[in-house]
Amino acid sequence: MQYLENAAPVRLSTMKYLALVGLVMLTMALAPINSFAQSDTTSYSPTAYGTYAFVGNTVLVGQTAPTSLVGQCGTWQFPLSTSATAAGVTLLPLISGGAVNTTVSSNSQQAQAQANTTSINLLAGLITAQAITAVATTTIDNNGNFQVSAAGSNFSNLVVLGHVYNGSVPANTRINLPLLGYVVLNEQIPNVGNESGTMTVNMLHVYVNVGNLLGLQVGTQLIVSNASATIYNVPAPGIIGGYSFGTQVSGPLLASSPTAPETLPCTGTNGQVLTATQVGLNLPSILSAGALTDTVESNLAADYSSGENTATITGLNLLNGLVTANVMQGVVDASVDQYNDVTLNGTDSLVGISVAGHPEITDNIPANTSVPIAGLGTLYLKEIIYGYSGHQSVETRSVELVVNQINIYGLPIGLDLIIGDAYIDVITWSGPPQ
């Protein structure tokens, strides 16, 4: 009897153990098979625009209907989508027309972008089209492998030097434009690595490389219907993105792309500092500077991601002495640990700052100081901006001038001039902390 009394508990314990093992095995069998580690950070970054023309750092036609998901390195969120539209533009003889619709989206393991440009006339009629559509798609499978595609990209009644193209054409078809340059149709730029995959499609890309009767400057480039889709998959608790640059002018009638720009790669730099420099900047009638130095750096490890970007300018002279400074420097830092704790910090310093008519402006002014400039607009100094557009980010702008009045300098109302910009943001594997 003693044996039987002791046997019952032993038998019950065995049954419980077997039931537990069975439950664990069933749970494992039903769980989705996915090689992504929970601490990996996956981000979707599709972008698109209709038309864009430039020569060197000078923007001739700004991107029309540009659209993207949040942030330079995209977003962890899906499904998301956004779109934009724009009317045609005219800058003869380069471009006329070109109404645009763009769309970008993220879905589980897919990023996609599309740009559709209609009724466009280029190079005084050398190239015309009823519709030009670019589509770029990037996917990632359960094993972390990337696939890229331009399927769906096509032309409708494209005419180049009298030759008609419809539907799809072979990737990177080059057509010479006598006494002007050449045009590439369905320009595809795939880039697949261990931690990212990208497909960029420029459905029509004009290169001007010789002097010409149209008067277009050698080096001019024109892109119609751009779509780019990127997915990042990084074995770290966060992706650190951002950039820094010396100056940028935007607004009606006058624009300049960033000078000495440096972009922080979304897959990191392994602690290496990337540097862009420019000596002797001169934007006629606007500003001059002795030197620009912009740096970016990040380190993405399994349990900690961090980065720092800087923008430094020496010898600034803005609008013939309205604003001068010996040295300006903005520094932004970001980090995220394995517990999804994010840290952001931005600082900006000025040495030898002077604003004509404002003796109260010294090197020790507080962050985010604004100065009304009579007969011109508003001057912002030592700007530090957290959470721009809802991002986990910080940005510094040493100087920003917004023109909102008719002025003696001939600057158009609406012009926005930024000097010394450093920006950094964080994408975490589970999104913003709750």
User: Are 108 and 137 within 8 A, CB to CB?
Assistant: no
Q: What pLDDT sits at residue 173?
A: 98
pTM for the full predicted model: 0.80
Examine the pLDDT at 20 and tell me if it is beyond 60: no
pLDDT of 313 above 90: yes
Mean pLDDT of 419-425: 97
The pLDDT value given to residue 10: 35
The answer to whether 137 and 198 have CB atoms below 8 angstroms apart is: no
Residue 334: pLDDT over 70: yes
Residues in the chain: 434
Query: Does 190 share its domain with 136?
Result: yes
Domain edge (last residue) among 211, 234, 257: 234
Residues 169 and 264 in one domain: no
Contact 398, 418 (CB under 8 A): no
With beta carbons less than 8 A apart as the criterion, state whether 404 and 417 touch: no
* Residue 278: inside a domain: yes
Q: pLDDT tens digits, residue range 338-394?
A: 999 999 999 999 999 999 999 999 999 999 999 999 999 999 999 999 987 678 999
Q: Which residues have CB under 8 Å from 139's CB, separation 6+?
A: 109, 110, 111, 146, 147, 197, 231
Q: Is residue 421 part of a domain?
A: yes
> Domain span at residue 358?
238-428
Closest CA to 229 of 185, 189, 186: 189
Same domain as 186, residue 93: yes
Average pLDDT, the chain: 90
Amino acid making up residue 47: T
| Residue 12 lies inside a defined structural domain of this protein | no
Identify whether residues 292 and 185 lie together within a single domain.
no
> What's the confidence (pLDDT) of residue 231?
97
* Percent of the residues in the chain that have a pLDDT greater than 70, as a whole number: 89
Q: Above pLDDT 90, what percent of the chain?
A: 82
Residue 25 lies in a domain: no
Domain assignment present for 31: no
154 and 197 belong to one structural domain: yes
Asked which of 234, 262, 286 is the last residue of a domain, the reply is 234
Residue 300: pLDDT above 70? yes
Q: How confident is the model at residue 14 (pLDDT cuts 50, 70, 90)?
A: very low
Q: What is the pLDDT of residue 40?
A: 85
Residues 356 and 388 in one domain: yes
pLDDT at 223 over 60: yes
Does the pLDDT at position 314 exceed 80? yes
Same domain, 192 and 315: no
Is there a single domain that holds both residue 116 and residue 222? yes
Whether 143 is covered by a domain: the verdict is: yes
Domain identity same for 223 and 245: no
11: Cα within 13 Å, side-chain hemisphere = 6
Domain count of the fold of the chain: 2
For range 300-321, the mean pLDDT: 97
> pLDDT tens digits for 78-112?
999 999 999 999 999 999 999 999 999 999 999 99
Q: What is the pLDDT of residues 140-153, one digit of tens each?
A: 999 899 999 999 99
pLDDT, tens digit, for every residue of 231-280? Answer: 999 999 999 999 999 999 988 777 778 999 999 999 999 999 999 999 99
Question: Over 90: is that where the pLDDT of 17 sits?
Answer: no
Which distant-in-sequence residues (6+ apart) come within 8 Å of 186 by Cβ?
150, 153, 168, 169, 170, 171, 172, 173, 201, 203
275 and 413 in one domain? yes
Q: Is residue 3 part of a domain?
A: no
Residues 174 and 294 in one domain: no
414 pLDDT more than 90: yes
pLDDT of residue 434: 40
Decide which of 180, 200, 234 is a domain's last residue: 234
Residue 391, CB-side half-sphere exposure with 13 Å CA sphere: 25
Residue 5 inside a domain? The answer is no
Q: Are residues 179 and 293 in the same domain?
A: no
